[in-house]
Structures are given as structure tokens and as C-alpha cells.
Chain A
Amino acid sequence: MPRLSRFFIRASLVYLFLGFTFGALILANKGILFAPLVWALLPAHIELMFLGWMTQLALGVAFWILPRLGSSTPRGDERWSWAAFILVNLGILVLVLSPLAGIPWLGLLARALQTLGFAAFALGNWQRIYPPKFPNIKGSI
């Protein structure tokens, strides 16, 4: 498993832990009301589960198992994917922490960072999405 995939997957597991913890607190609070403020964790719970856990795990596994390019750079120009890792995680952290800062444009900044991050990943791995090549068969299968 390449180093960047390990970073993506381990980060997704950290978000899984945080997202599950927030979700468990919200559900338990629904059952036995102990802290109404727990509901404020709902946007962070959604963000951590969808982007932090599921999407980031998908990026990490995709970077690992997508077909490699037959060159000295089998996973293309990795700088794009490293940029994706940094931008996506910065975006998630800014979005989750923005309610604490109380600055309205932080949410916009977070979404912009995430969008740039996913776009960077798509650009960096676009060429790796190709059909299998068999020397005796012309065209794609």
C-alpha cells in the first residue's frame, strides 16, 4: 500500500472514530436527554462521516488500486494527490471547527478547499482510468 494511501486511510479512520463518537452522543441524547447542546454536533457528524470517512477512504483505496502507468511514475504525478490530501483535510477541519470561530465565510472557504482537493485528485489520477490492454486484441474490452 503506497504511503499516500496509508495517510488517506488512517485519516479516514480518525474521522470514523470522531464521527461515530459524535453520532453515538446524539443518539444517546435522543434516548435519555443529558445535554441539549449535543445537537450542535450534528453538522460535524454528517461532515465527518460523508467526506472524512467514506469519501476519503475511497480516495485512499483508489490511489492504491487504480491501474498503474507503465513508467517511472506508476501513479502519475503524485503531487496532485498529495495536494488533494492536504486540501480535503484542511477543508474538513475548517468546516468542523468554523462554528467555534463564528466567522461566517469560513464555511465558504472550507467548501472551496474541499472542491479544489477533489478536483486535484481527479486531475492527478485521470490518466490511470484506462481499459485493460492485451497485445493480441485491438481496441478496449
Chain B
Amino acid sequence: MPTLTRSFVKASLIALILGLVAGIWPQIPGAAITGLFPIYLHLLTFGWLTQLIFGIAIWMFPVYSKEHPRGPEWLGWSIFACLNLGLLLRVIFEPLQGISPSTFGGWMLVLAAVLQWLAGVGFIANVWTRVRGK
């Protein structure tokens, strides 16, 4: 399994654990935080499921070329960085905006949105030409 895929899979497992913790939190009496439910959902669907799919697809889909079987290395790592940095910003600033809204926090959410979108576009660019016959 290539290093990039191992990073995706391990990060997805961390997101799974964090997502489950975010699910436990509101069950504690008096500990509910506004903005935590979207975090719970996105840690599980984006951080866990989508990230796991990205990692495995980059590894297992038909090769890109002989020289770069899994596509350009820089693109793979950029997808990984954008996905996890975007998710981290969201995990930090979405609940913070619920507790104490600020312009800075608002812009951090915009940045999180852009980074996550770039991760998706990067993944599509990586695998689109690899979806082919023999």
C-alpha cells in the first residue's frame, strides 16, 4: 500500500474516532454545543467515508501511466492536505462560531469550504482519466 494511501486511511480512522466522540458529546447532560451536529456528520461522511474512498481509489484504480501509476505525486498530497486542513478548520471554527461569532472565524469557514472543494476537484482530476477499460 503506497504511503499516500496509508496516510489517507490512517487520517480517515482518526476522523472516525473524532466523529464518534463528537456524537458522544451532546449526550452528556448540559454539554451540548451549537454547531456540533454538522461536525459529527461531516467527520463521519467526509473525514471517514469519503477520505477512505479517496485513499483506496487512488491506490486501486487503473494506473495513470507507467511513470506515475497513481497520478502526479504532488496532486495526491495536495488532495490529502486540502481535505484534512479544510476539515480541521471546520471542526475548530464551526462550533466556535456557534459560541462566539467573529469575522475571523467566518473567514476561516470560507477557507475551510474552499480547501474541501479543492480536495474534491483534485480527486476528480486524479481519477477521471483512470476510469477506463484495459
Contact = CB atoms under 8 A, between A and B. Distances in A.
A31 B38 CA distance: 14
B53 interface: yes
B127 A28 contact: no
Contacts, number: 74
Interface of A: 1-3, 5-6, 9-10, 13, 16-17, 20-21, 23-25, 27-28, 30-32, 49-50, 53-54, 57
Contacts of B121: 17, 20
A16 B117 CA distance: 10
B107 A31 contact: yes
Q: Looking at chain A's contact residues, is the secondary structure mostly helix, strand, loop, or mixed?
A: helix
Contact of A16 (B106, B120, B131): B120
B124 A16 contact: yes
B23 interface: no
Contacts of B117: 20-21, 23-24
Contacts of A13: 124, 127-128, 131
A30 B97 contact: yes
Interface string B34-56: 00000000000100011001000
Q: Looking at chain B's contact residues, is the secondary structure mostly helix, strand, loop, or mixed?
A: helix
A135 B123 CA distance: 42
Given A13-B131, A21-B117, A49-B45, A30 B62 contact: no
Interface in B63-83: none
Nearest to A17: B124
Nearest to A20: B120
A20 to B, nearest CB: 4
B112 A27 contact: yes
A6 B106 CA distance: 39
21 contacts: A1-B134, A5-B131, A6-B133, A9-B127, A10-B128, A13-B124, A13-B128, A16-B123, A17-B120, A20-B116, A20-B121, A23-B117, A25-B113, A30-B94, A31-B106, A31-B108, A31-B113, A32-B103, A32-B106, A32-B107, A54-B49
Contacts of A1: 62, 131-134
Given A24-B114, A27-B113, 8 more contacts: A6-B132, A9-B131, A23-B116, A24-B117, A27-B116, A28-B109, A31-B105, A57-B53
